[in-house]
Structure 1
Amino acid sequence: MDQVYPPPSIEVHVSDRPLSVAVIGAGPAGIYAADILSKSDIETSIDLYERLPAPFGLVRYGVAPDHPRIKQIIVALYKILQRGDIRLVGNVTVGEDISIEDMREHYDAIILATGSDRDAPLDIPGVDLEGCYGAADFVSWYDGHPDYPRTWPLEAKEVAVIGVGNVALDVARMLAKHPEDLMVTEIPENVEKGLRANPITDVHIFGRRGPAQVKFTPLELRELGKVPDVDVIVYEEDFDFDDGSQEAISSSNQTKQVVNTLTDWVMRDEEPTASRRIHLHMMQSPVEILGTDRVEGIRMERNELVGDGSVKGTGEYIDYPVQAVYRAVGYFSSPITDLPFDDIRGVIPNVEGRVIEAGGDHIPGIYSTGWVKRGPVGLIGSTKSDARETITHLVEDAKAGKLDQLGDSAGVGYETMTRILDERGIKYTTWQGWEILEEFEKALGAEQGRERVKVVERDTMTAISRGEEHDGKLY
């Protein structure tokens, strides 16, 4: 059961006004942090900043469009923001449109919830060849992210996907799935056109360890086997289990379900008959991406388990002819101007959510939560508990008088910051604007018998949200 942090008690006022808090990032991490803070025992005024014109972060722009169950998370997030006590300020990039110093002048505390928005690096030869892509970039394209190109070079018949997490499965499935089977989803028109021209026949997914160590969730894996006219092929020689593998299977029902699904597939006798195939390869690590000017293949080294679930290379190499490679080896956060950043781990340095300087001291009033705090691990449940930890410390600091730095100045919070944005000509969006944009997208979908069709272009999204003119059209 979710516990309420901090526990209810007599309401505490840090001054003659509510504590003014800015949360940067309107994905699940930021919204949950804002919600938990709003229910704490200190009086607060909370503003939620988002660099895109629309809220919900990776739930809108990082989840494959054919996963409606996962997108139901948006319903819960929607209900939080619909209450009206947390104000949304969208289409504002902190560090560019406004600075951290601007915000520190007008807020008692700042919570960083900017997530992980780029691909983790893969350091092997050939990674810079044309035809080698980051999975995060491809996901942003098919999810209609406004800051990515409208086209994608879908030219390869054979493709490698490096990684065995859910993002790798999403990428493989979206590459292999026939566009007709995506027309019930919210994919934008440009994505539909791109997928219809896709000549792909084979997608090869590679994982460096064995079946007991893959990171797929059971549901995601089972769904892969239900894609129409796509065969999933698993190889018996990739199945190996050591003591560490057996321990993982016996201690985790999720791991057991994944291994059982993979075992069922490898035991099938029927020959592949579909026009497209997804090959699951395990116990192989990428060594080099082959090609002169562009991707022509990938070289993998076969591994062996060493007893504890980890692997070592065997010196046996296998070359696969592929014309494109997608790196799905994890996400990585981006730094924010004027704040510390760990370039190795890809996070903002912190101790349980309190952001720290190089010497280890907490920067007063600055906090973090979500993936930018702990790295790109964990699902929504982890995000909630993570936010509770951060908010607990923020409330402790507020009660200790460490955050009441601004006094009762009139230049505090939303009114002041939106005036500054207006003065700088920043076309920010609001929650009311998002509701207008959402109705517009739903109307586009209704014309095609779909629930929604995303508006992709940033200026169009902003104009619709603000009721302004764009490209000669008044919204």
Structure 2
Amino acid sequence: MNDPLRVAVVGAGPSGIYAADTLRKSDTDVTVDLFEKLPAPFGLVRYGVAPDHPRIKQIVHALHRVLDDPAVRLFGNVHYGTDVTTDDLREHYDAVIVATGCERDRDLDIPGIDLPGSHGAAEFVRWYDGHPDVGREWTLDARSVAVIGAGNVALDVARVLAKSAEDMLTTEIPDSVHAGLAVNPATDVHVFARRGLAQAKFSPMELRELDHVPGLEVVVAPEDVEFDDGSMAEIRSTKQVQMVVKILQGWALRDPRGEPRRVHLHFLSRPERVLGTDRVEGLRVERTSYTGDGSVRGTGEFTDFEVGAVYRAVGYTGSHLAGLPFDHERGVIPHQAGRVHDIDGQELPGIYTVGWIKRGPVGLIGHTKGCASETVGSLLADAPGLRRAPERDPAAVDELLARRGVGFTTWDGWLALDKHERGLGEDRGRERIKVVPREDMVGISRAG
């Protein structure tokens, strides 16, 4: 090749940026353009990590270095499927990597789940993270709340619901989120896990942090501490499971501390239906029992919990993208080693995928590096045989977007927005305060 390989990446979250980084660190001469529907980069690091977890957000520093590379360009506020299409990208790039992630809440098929007061965790997370496409108002009027799920997102939701609004003021939350949390009357948050302690997907660090929240007590019922042969095998399998079980067992054995707010972690508890007529009034839960291999079955023993809101944190799923195949059952793009193929197994030459939209919403952010290595390895192996894009002038992309009236943002624009947000925070003794409205984000970015 006489000029660089040109690659477009759709999505500027961790998986898309790691793919760009892996491409740039290869022996191939390559340029990468990232297309992001939001005006700012970083995806779930900015809009999926709880604001009181600044340590996790430090990954932004590594992602920042990738986007500082002059051979990597960012086009923010660009919607794939409307502002640009697959055909547009194939006109300007030799290969396309789809890295759009999984943003939607997975469905939970139980009666009453659609009642007012029943919410998907992803929407709540986007609200408290200041996502520009989520309304600024969120009704918090329940003293007792249920959270369904046994992963870190469930813990995040429970912690934010149970935490004092004043304790969140040191974070980057916008004023609208603080105002919403300030009127939250919740004193008891009940988290329900269908299986037992050994099957919980919490990380030890997340659990320990929950117990260090001022004014908050974590409650585990002693009767929930039971294991079958399959559970014991899981405990022996990894140190992380051992640590989680040890923490939970310790909480089950200790005396109550009498704190004003409580998070109750319920195990072997399968939500059977959301109760209520015009809105959520309760949650009916069936006790489960082990089958011997770590799985559980219903016992027919039910308990009704009086709650005024329900949040389901049972996982994320991907969205179908225009012009691309989609596995609706798994919520991912079908692929082989990152090479996208249709429902008949036929590869789409030059189209690749990476991250959660490739493998589903599993693994932490760090797991994305290995996923990116596989996809980029496939792309570079295919590179000599890829059809060359007819339009190779990088400026042609800017011109295309300008002709379509797309007010796109750039890396320099992000630096301007970042500086502005940090300035807002500095005035009030905080690291940053997020700008929320999309039009304000775009305006600040483009003015810079």
Task: Check whether TM > 0.5.
Answer: yes
Q: 2:263 aligns with which of 270, 278, 285?
A: 278
Corresponding position: 1:441 with 2:421: yes
The residue aligned with 2:289 is: 304
Asked whether the equivalents of residues 350 and 387 of structure 2 are also in contact (C-alpha less than 8 Å), the reply is: no
* Distance across 2 between alignment mates of 1:121 and 1:326: 12
Corresponding position: 1:61 with 2:44: no
TM-superposed CA distance for 1:381, in Å, is 2.6
* Distance across 1 between alignment mates of 2:86 and 2:107: 27
194-203 vs 412-421, which deviates more?
Answer: 412-421
35-44 vs 424-433, which deviates more?
Answer: 35-44
2:244 partner SS: helix
TM-superposed CA distance for 1:412, in Å, is 2.5
2:344 partner SS: coil
How many residues align structurally? Answer: 448
Q: 1:398 aligns with which of 346, 369, 383?
A: 383
The residue aligned with 2:412 is: 432
Letter in 2 for 1:179: A
Q: 2:212 aligns with which of 201, 226, 234?
A: 226
* Distance across 2 between alignment mates of 1:98 and 1:84: 22
Letter in 1 for 2:292: G
Q: 2:355 aligns with which of 370, 373, 396?
A: 370
* Distance across 1 between alignment mates of 2:438 and 2:270: 39
* Distance across 1 between alignment mates of 2:325 and 2:258: 54
Taking structure 1 as the reference length, what is the TM-score of the superposition?
0.93
Letter in 2 for 1:139: V
Asked whether the equivalents of residues 416 and 444 of structure 2 are also in contact (C-alpha less than 8 Å), the reply is: yes
Identity of aligned residues (%): 57
* Distance across 2 between alignment mates of 1:219 and 1:295: 32
Asked whether the equivalents of residues 21 and 413 of structure 1 are also in contact (C-alpha less than 8 Å), the reply is: no
The residue aligned with 1:389 is: 374
The residue aligned with 2:141 is: 155
* Distance across 1 between alignment mates of 2:162 and 2:366: 30
The residue aligned with 1:451 is: 431
Asked whether the equivalents of residues 143 and 187 of structure 2 are also in contact (C-alpha less than 8 Å), the reply is: yes
State the Cα RMSD in Å.
1.0
* Distance across 1 between alignment mates of 2:253 and 2:70: 54
The residue aligned with 1:416 is: 396
* Distance across 1 between alignment mates of 2:76 and 2:369: 22
* Distance across 2 between alignment mates of 1:101 and 1:185: 42
Q: 2:280 aligns with which of 279, 283, 295?
A: 295
Alignment of 1:16-27 (within 5 A): 16-27=2-13
Asked whether the equivalents of residues 148 and 311 of structure 2 are also in contact (C-alpha less than 8 Å), the reply is: yes
Asked whether the equivalents of residues 103 and 122 of structure 2 are also in contact (C-alpha less than 8 Å), the reply is: yes
> What is the CA deviation profile of residues 355-401 of structure 1, one whole-angstrom value per residue up to 9, with x for unaligned ones?
001210110000000000000000123200000000000000003x1
Letter in 1 for 2:328: D
Runs of 5+ unmatched residues, structure 2: none
Asked whether the equivalents of residues 340 and 351 of structure 2 are also in contact (C-alpha less than 8 Å), the reply is: yes
The residue aligned with 2:195 is: 209
- Residues 1:413 and 1:51: Cα distance change in structure 2 (over 3 Å): farther
Letter in 1 for 2:394: Y
Taking structure 2 as the reference length, what is the TM-score of the superposition?
0.99
TM-superposed CA distance for 1:413, in Å, is 5.8
* Distance across 2 between alignment mates of 1:110 and 1:337: 14
TM-superposed CA distance for 1:247, in Å, is 1.0
Corresponding position: 1:196 with 2:182: yes
Alignment of 1:127-142 (within 5 A): 127-142=113-128
Q: 2:233 aligns with which of 244, 247, 263?
A: 247
Asked whether the equivalents of residues 18 and 43 of structure 1 are also in contact (C-alpha less than 8 Å), the reply is: yes
Asked whether the equivalents of residues 443 and 452 of structure 1 are also in contact (C-alpha less than 8 Å), the reply is: yes
* Distance across 2 between alignment mates of 1:376 and 1:349: 14
The residue aligned with 2:332 is: 347
* Distance across 2 between alignment mates of 1:413 and 1:22: 13
Letter in 2 for 1:449: G
* Distance across 2 between alignment mates of 1:210 and 1:42: 49
2:396 partner SS: helix
305-314 vs 439-448, which deviates more?
Answer: 305-314
Corresponding position: 1:329 with 2:314: yes
2:392 partner SS: coil
* Distance across 2 between alignment mates of 1:214 and 1:462: 41
